Structure 1
Amino acid sequence: MGLDTTALRGAGIDADGAPGGAVEARAKIFEMTQDAEEAVLRPQDPGAWSHGLRAALAARIAAQNGEPDLAARYAADASAHADLADPAKGAAGRDLAEVLSFMDRVACTTREVTAHDITGLQAAGVSDADIVRLAELNAFLAYQIRVMAGLRLMKDVYA
């Protein structure tokens, strides 16, 4: 299997095993998923959210969803924002408290997110375009984590 994606590595899919063959048949989906990761984590126009901060937020979301290996992968790219990758830590000394609160809420209790959460970000000076960027990051991580869970189930079936 020539594919090397975050989701496949995270799920422990081996190119030589039966799941590898099933994945190869759907290679385009995994290539597009990897392209989406690039677009969300390292976009040409990051807006207010640097690539390092995006990586820290992605690590934080992965950790909150029980994906420590994925969290470590993203935390490695967090640079100056590495401390924010830990969900137990806040935005000490930074103007990101509202952003972290929003990201944590969306990642952990999505059904409880309301318009008030958005107006809180706006009141903190976050532009609408940057709110969309935060939502995109959270949505991608939710997708990626679910893909990895499905791949692990598939791997177990073939084991």
Structure 2
Amino acid sequence: MIDVIDHLAGIEPDSPLDHLREQRPDAREHAQRAFDALLTPDVPGEVSLVERDAVAAFVTGLHQDPRTARFYADRLAELAPDLLGAVRLEIEAASTTGPYGSYPADGPLAAESDEGLRYRARDPEALGIRLAAAFEHAHLLVFRPREADPKDLRALADADWSDTGIVTLSQLVAFLSFQIRVVAGLRLLGATQKGTTS
């Protein structure tokens, strides 16, 4: 069975990075189990597999890691090829840097305030009301985490997301952000090791 982090980081069996990951077997196992639970659950429940893969394709597209984004886009293309074009248009509309957000003007962190892009789905009809709301929430969590508040959860509820679905969506966004950072770190270690051995 594929270990997704190994795959995305380009880790070969019996390589130095493989041995490095073997030193933390619990971390390796838990990361893969999280992927399985969030992206390939036996019983999807209130968040469909298409919704999960669409959110994953969107979030990884926002992080601008081509290999990881392609992995999740390919997964979406297998389940819902007609949706992939709409997701790519939303990634284009939502791409930015960050993080953004506002601190109180009289507070010690006021100088760190940065308005940035406030993303709204470009084509809610193509996505459907649930995915449009999910993408807007995911963008908020990726680029404006300090601004998330109860009204954002109400927007999801208004788009037919249940409490359980909202938790799953938030867990998925958090997991993808974690996975992308781990993969980036492993790739950097791999490149460093190659540089020292060449």
Determine the structure 2 residue equivalent to 1:17: 15
Determine the structure 2 residue equivalent to 1:83: 85
Question: What does 1:63-102 correspond to in 2, within 5 Å?
Answer: 63-78=61-76, 79-80=79-80, 81-86=83-88, 87-88=91-92, 90-93=123-126, 94-96=128-130, 97-102=132-137
Distance in 2 separating the partners of 1:64 and 1:117: 20
Determine the structure 1 residue equivalent to 2:184: 149
CA positional deviation for 1:69: 1.5
For 1:147, what is the secondary structure of its paired residue? Answer: helix
Pick which of 116-125 and 58-67 moved more: 116-125
CA positional deviation for 1:46: 2.1
1:133-152 per-residue CA deviation (whole Å, 9 max, x = no partner) reads 10111111011111112212
For 1:155, what is the secondary structure of its paired residue? Answer: helix
Match of 1:124 among 136, 159, 168: 159
Match of 1:113 among 139, 143, 148: 148
Distance in 2 separating the partners of 1:21 and 1:125: 45
Unaligned stretches of 5+ residues in structure 1: none
Structure scoring higher RCO (CA < 8 A, sep ≥ 6) equals 1
Distance in 2 separating the partners of 1:21 and 1:126: 42
On the 8 A contact 2:9/2:184 being kept in 1, the answer is yes
The percentage of aligned residue pairs carrying the same residue is 31
Distance in 2 separating the partners of 1:5 and 1:47: 24
CA positional deviation for 1:73: 1.3
Pick which of 36-45 and 14-23 moved more: 14-23
Amino acid at match of 2:180: I
Q: Which structure has the greater CA radius of gyration?
A: 2
CA positional deviation for 1:84: 4.7
Q: Does 1:52 align with 2:35?
A: no
Task: Note closer, same or farther for the CA distance 1:127–1:144 as it changes in structure 2 (3 Å cut).
Answer: same
Unaligned stretches of 5+ residues in structure 2: 93-121
Q: TM-score, length-normalised on structure 1?
A: 0.85
Q: TM-score, length-normalised on structure 2?
A: 0.70
Determine the structure 1 residue equivalent to 2:114: none
1:28-73 per-residue CA deviation (whole Å, 9 max, x = no partner) reads 3222211110100122332332112211210111110122211221
Q: How many residues align?
A: 157
